Amino acid sequence: MSLKLVKPTTSLQDAYMDFYQEWVNSGEEIIPSALRKDPTNFEALVQGLIDTEEGVGLPEGYVPATTRWLVDEKYKILGACNIRHDLTGPLLETGGHVGYGVRPSERGNGHATFMLKETLKFLKALEVPRALVTSNDDNEASMRVIEKCGGMQGLPFTEEDGNVVRRFWIDLRD
């Protein structure tokens, strides 16, 4: 299977809607959070992702972030990742540099590992010396992916609701 990360584009609307609907039907929260917006106005959704990458119109406290969709050779969207170019206080605690998710029917096929490796290359090109990648304490699969990609566990962060966020650092320096 040939995989690649692509920029969001309106030409993939049908593929995206299929991806999005699978998440909704699963009852799970859509990951990464950048994709939780209602896709009814698809053109606006795509433009919003492009604007966020370029740092246009960001709300107070937000940083530029690049979203990419993971597609196969038929341009079926298998997953998505969101790469934050910098870290704010809240991102240092729970968000990290990278958020990624694989649609429920495609999990267990190495897609998350592929996406994380590619996002680390992107962050290295941005001259980020160490990437922070986080996972909820109950997401064993994600923690294995992070460790497989060189993640070294740092101090966890406990959110107000008691959720424990595991924080992993990945050195990007040569």
- Give the pLDDT confidence score for residue 125 in this predicted structure: 96
Rounded to whole angstroms, what are the CA distances from 155 to 139, 150, 151?
16, 16, 13
Residue 102, phi then psi, degrees to nearest 5: -115, 135
> Which one of 3.20.20.30, 3.30.70.580, 3.90.1010.10, 3.40.630.30 gives the CATH number of domain 4-129?
3.40.630.30
What are the residue ranges in the chain where pLDDT is below 70? none
* Beta carbons of 100 and 82 less than 8 angstroms apart: yes
Strand ranges (DSSP E) for 36-162? 65-71, 77-84, 98-102, 130-136, 152-153, 157-158
Q: Is 129 exposed, middle or buried (0-12, 13-18, 19+ CB in 10 A)?
A: exposed
- Give the pLDDT confidence score for residue 73 in this predicted structure: 96
- Give the pLDDT confidence score for residue 174 in this predicted structure: 76
For the chain, which residues make up each domain, given as ranges?
A: 4-129
- Give the pLDDT confidence score for residue 1 in this predicted structure: 77
Instruction: Work out whether strand 164-171 and strand 152-153 pair parallel, antiparallel, or are unpaired.
Output: antiparallel
- Give the pLDDT confidence score for residue 7 in this predicted structure: 97
- Give the pLDDT confidence score for residue 30 in this predicted structure: 92
* Beta carbons of 65 and 82 less than 8 angstroms apart: yes
* Beta carbons of 134 and 143 less than 8 angstroms apart: no
DSSP three-state, residue 133: strand
- Give the pLDDT confidence score for residue 34 in this predicted structure: 87
Instruction: Work out whether strand 77-84 and strand 65-71 pair parallel, antiparallel, or are unpaired.
Output: antiparallel
The 10s digit of each residue's pLDDT in 10-33 is 999 999 999 999 999 999 999 998
Q: Locate tokens 């990458």: which residue?
A: 53
* Beta carbons of 169 and 147 less than 8 angstroms apart: no
